Amino acid sequence: MIERISGTRRTWCTVMKALCYLSLILVTALTAFMILYVLFRGVPHITPQLLFTKPSTLRHTIGILPDILNTIYIVIATLVVVLPIGVGAAIYLNEYATNRKIVELIEFAAETLSGIPSIIYGLVGMLVFVQFCSLGTSLMAGALTLVIMNLPTIMRTTQESLKTVPESYREGAFALGAGKWRVIRTVVLPTCVNGIVTGCILSIGRILSESAALLFTAGFAHNINGFIDGLGSAGATLTVALYVYASERGEFDIAFAIASILMVLTVIINLLTGYMGRLMKRRNGQ
Amino acid sequence: MTIIETKDLDLWYGSMQALKKINLSMEEKSITALIGPSGCGKSTFLRTLNRMNDLVPGVRIEGQVIYNGEDIFSPKVDVNGLRYEVGMVFQKPNPFMMSIYDNIAYGPRTHGIKSKVKLDEIVEKALVDASLFDEVKDRLRKSALGLSGGQQQRLCIARALAVQPKVLLMDEPTSALDPISTAKIEELAMSLCDRYTIIIVTHNMQQALRIAHKTAFFLLGEVIEYDTTERIFSNPSDSRTEDYVTGRFG
């Protein structure tokens, strides 16, 4: 029987296998090169001075403490606004809405919204929040722009996890005479809290990596502020600072140092997401 | 005394009529079994009695369900109050993702009981009534999901009893359980029927024969025959009932 598989066919198989193998090597090599190159160029420049001071023109030093703080502020401000809205919308769509057509339309719109290039959000944010709402170029304007950008993410992940709550839980609670909101608050939400956390972590990742939308709305300042003052004034996040140092000031060492920090943060966020996913599976499988 | 009575009850899922002119009256403090082949409407009927069908989109109901002299579909009736009095146990055990204690305390807390002493008392009594107390008394604070299937179902019965309903609806409560757990639940149902009215849907005719005082035979959305369990199984008046209980179809 063996001879029925012709020589050309066997060669073809071998060639295809080799090509797949080659792609794998390329992908691995490129990723490894990327990571190692950034770390190699960046890590040596992560110094206490860089991490814990602000830039000084007089002493010719550069520090990214303001940018770190700005990043934290903008993450907090964004989440504080986006969470109630996103989770609330998801609850409405999944638990209250009865018109399937409209629900599907909103889901489709959210899907589309999450695929739009972020610079468009920046443009709209600049016109609406910075100018029309006269917030000025500020972290608050940036955060509100990011709220719109992350709304679909939070809404969709929450919705997906609401869908995994078995109908029998809701029925069990209704059968005990619990009202709709009590069922949602005490039975449905606690069951899917991991899904909401996963959405948050994904959003934090997006906020960290965002530059285009913030260039338009949050500005480039490197001043150390408290939370409230910070929100009212312009400020660069780490990613924006990276852009500024690399493209406007030619400080590639600093840019790479920031890049290394961002990469480590991304790894941590990915690990956290994976961990939450596993936790959710374990709890649902019990 | 009659506690629940239905008058010309019709129910449609969309355009499909699932219940046709059901007239049944259930006696207080007794066990009524609803039997019939799959899809005959017995579960639908049961779920109408505490308005669980309200949750299903596209359901339309006509006719009356009189509970304690009042039509449960009247706008004056608060559906949560109705479910407070008419409790339900489902086919698949559905404990919440909480501790055993919190599962049982869920109903009482929903209805405003906050006192810890009172809750402790209610939880213990419900667990004793559901003959589960001895098995779980050392792990009341542990997750209810760690219990076996049979224990989970008795927990769900205890959870329903904790709000002290008048009527307990049971929708094939033993179909997902092993024979020993089934026997325990049947025993439990019999021990509860001097205080509660129990209406049970079952696929298992032996079960109806063992525990029910009266039995209704459903077929294609209609009640074919409703009589004492003894008569239904020994001397039914309708030939279709006879065919079903003797195992000729279904």
pLDDT digits (tens, 9 = 90+) for B5-50: 999 999 999 899 999 999 999 989 999 999 999 889 999 999 999 9
**Cβ proximity of B214 and B226 under 8 Å:** yes
Same domain, A95 and A148: yes
Q: What is the pLDDT of residue A100?
A: 86
Q: Tell me which residue range forms the domain holding A20.
A: 1-30
Nearest to A176 among B57, B107, B143 (CB): B107
Do A10 and A71 lie in a common domain? no
One domain, residues A18 and A58: no
Would you say residue A40 lies in a domain? no
Closest residue of A to B50, CA-based? A175
Structure confidence at residue A21 (pLDDT): 95
Q: For residue A4, tell me if it sits in a domain.
A: yes
- Residues of chain B contacting residue A166, judged by C-beta atoms under 8 Å apart: 94
A196: in domain: yes
- Segment B98-138, tens digit of pLDDT: 899 999 999 999 988 899 999 999 999 999 988 899 999 99
**Domain assignment of residue A205, yes or no:** yes
Tell me which chain B residue has its CA closest to the CA of residue A192.
B97
CA distance A141 to A122: 10
Statement to judge: residues A65 and A23 lie in one domain:
no
Q: What is the CATH number of the domain that holds A134?
A: 1.10.3720.10
Q: What is the pLDDT of residue A285?
A: 46
Q: What is the pLDDT along chain A (286 residues), one digit of tens a residue?
A: 556 777 888 888 899 999 999 999 999 999 999 999 999 998 888 888 777 878 777 777 787 888 888 888 898 899 999 999 999 999 999 989 888 899 999 999 988 888 889 899 999 999 988 888 888 888 889 999 999 999 998 999 999 899 988 899 999 999 998 989 999 999 998 888 878 888 888 888 889 888 888 888 888 887 787 887 778 787 888 888 888 888 888 888 888 988 999 988 888 888 887 887 777 666 654 4
CB contact under 8 A, A176 and B96: no
Residue A39 is assigned to a structural domain of this protein: no
Could you tell me the two tokens for A26? 């390329």
Helices (H), chain B: 42-49, 79-85, 100-110, 116-129, 133-136, 149-161, 179-192, 205-211, 229-234, 239-245
One domain, residues A128 and A26: no
* In-domain check, residue A41: no
Rounded Cα distance, A74 and A223, in Å: 14
Q: Please give the share of chain B, as a percent, with pLDDT higher than 70.
A: 100
Two structure tokens written together for A57: 């023109």
* pLDDT score at B115: 92
Mean pLDDT taken over chain B: 91
Going by C-alpha positions, the residue among B100, B139, B146 that lies closest to residue A286 is B146
pLDDT reading at B211 higher than 60: yes
- pLDDT exceeds 60 at position B171: yes
Name the one residue in this structure whose structure tokens are 């606004």: A81
Closest residue of chain B to A98, computed from CA coordinates: B57
Same structural domain, A57 and A22: no
- Calculate how close chain A gets to B242, using CA atoms only, in Å: 34
Interface of chain A toward chain B, CB-CB under 8 angstroms: 98, 166, 168-179, 182, 186-187, 190-191, 283, 286
Q: ipTM score here?
A: 0.89
Residue A19 shares a structural domain with residue A142: no
Which chain A residue is nearest to residue B98, measuring alpha carbons?
A187
Classify residue A220: in a domain, yes or no.
yes
A35 inside domain: no
Number of separate domains in chain A: 2
Please indicate, yes or no, whether residues A69 and A188 belong to a single structural domain of this protein.
Answer: yes
Give yes or no: residues A9 and A102 share one domain. Answer: no
Q: Say if the Cβ atoms of B55 and A179 lie within 8 Å.
A: no
Residues A7 and A66 in one domain: no
- Name the nearest CA neighbour of A172 among B12, B9, B152: B152
A225 and A165 housed in the same domain: yes
More confidently predicted of B248 and B12: B12
> What distance in Å separates the CA atoms of residue B90 and residue B176, rounded to the nearest whole number?
10
Retrieve residue B113's tokens: 């009981």
Which residues of A fall within a CB distance of 8 Å from B84?
A: 176-177
Residues A131 and A258 in one domain: yes
